[in-house]
Structure 1
């Protein structure tokens, strides 16, 4: 096993162990407590918080990928090229309004809970996926597309059998960036009553307990690192397979 893979496997096992048996890690976090404060956050089930956190990210990034990739495909077709400025404006909305501002605007409409957080994560993650999809599809060698056309492929076949496989590494890269950002940003959802790992961090801030802040940050950080590595592996695999999409 490669050293890097061994380290990542260790991180994953430690993360799982902590979420399942947090009390066992009390000696690790006790030095960071003050005035005999509890070393482990037990007000909520940590595994449940982590799963809710991951589900919010999965739904938001999944919807964002469908929208952003769809827009990227649309504007790289001759019939949809004129919609590029509008599509880019839509993708930039999330970067124009920071997530906390989106929460402030959506809570009066959607109420407290996960819905405002989903909207914030969705909007904030559109741009990386859209721009990478646009770059990937626009960067396909015209000679390759022409060869596919000469082989008798229809427009749809060229898109799904040639262009998308070649663009997939870049698309996955955009989804990776969006997902890692969403994992970190989802913590703010706890300010509007969404059940995320931000609850642990906020609990530490309110009780002046650095141990809670540290463990919340470490769990979020570990999730982000593992997700980043998983997508990086998928990107490399897609890049190796991209050559098989070349016609002939």
Structure 2
């Protein structure tokens, strides 16, 4: 087992141990407290907050993937090329309006809670997934497509059996980028009453307790690193399969 893999396994173990029994880590965070403040955030269950955080990110990125991949498929079909400018403009909305602005605009319509954060994360995740899928689908080797066409495959069969599998590494790379960004961005959802790990960070800021800020930030950072590694592993596997399929 490589050193990098051992480090990742240790990170997973530490993360799970901390979320399961955060009070056991009080001596680690105690030096970062001020004015005899508590070392561990106990106003909410950290494991529950982490699970809510992950669920919100997973839902938003899944929805963004469906929309972005759907748009990319549409504009790479002969009948849909005219929709490329519109699709790209929609995908760019999340980058045009920062998540905090999306929250401000959606709270009056959707109310407080996870819904505004879901919308913000969905919009913010569209662009990397759309552009990567578009690159993957439009950059396929014409010889491979011609071979698939010559074998009698229909357009739907070529898409599902040839184009998407070959473009999958790039699609996963886009989803990886969107996921890592969303894990960190979801923390701002706690400003509109979404139950995320941002609650811990905000509590630290309001009470001037660096220990809360540190533990919230470390958990979010660890989750982002692990998500990045998981998607990178999936990308490598997909790339190997795509290479075999192309041959």
State the alpha-carbon separation in 2 of the partners of residues 165 and 24 from structure 1. 46
Number of residues of Structure 1 aligned to a counterpart in Structure 2: 247
Q: Aligned ranges for residues 153-232 of structure 1 at < 5 Å?
A: 153-232=153-232
1:63 matched to 2:63? The reply is yes
- Distance in 2 (CA, whole Å) between partners of 1:70 and 1:142 is 22
Q: How much does 1:157 deviate? A: 1.0
- Whole-Å separation in 2 of the counterparts to 1:116 and 1:163: 34
Structure 1, residues 4-58: CA drift from partner, whole Å, max 9, x if none?
0100000001000000000000000000011111000000000000000000000
Specify every segment of 5 or more residues in structure 1 that has no aligned partner in the other structure, as ranges. Answer: none
TM-score, with normalisation over the residues of structure 2? 0.99
The CA RMSD over aligned residues, in Å, is 0.7
Structure 2 partner of 1:109: 109
What is the match of residue 123 of structure 2? 123
Q: CA deviation at 1:246?
A: 3.2
Measure, in 2, the Cα distance between the counterparts of 1:11 and 1:162.
Answer: 37
Supply the distance in 1 between the matched residues of 2:238 and 2:100 (Cα, whole angstroms). Answer: 35
Between 1:205-214 and 1:157-166, the stretch displaced more is 157-166
TM-score (ref. length: structure 1) = 0.99
**Deviation sequence 1:31-86 (CA, Å, 0-9, x none):** 00111110000000000000000000000000000000000000000010110000
* 2-structure distance, mates of 1:86, 1:208: 46
* Residue 154 of structure 1, CA deviation: 1.1
Contact 1:161 1:245 in 2 (8 A): no
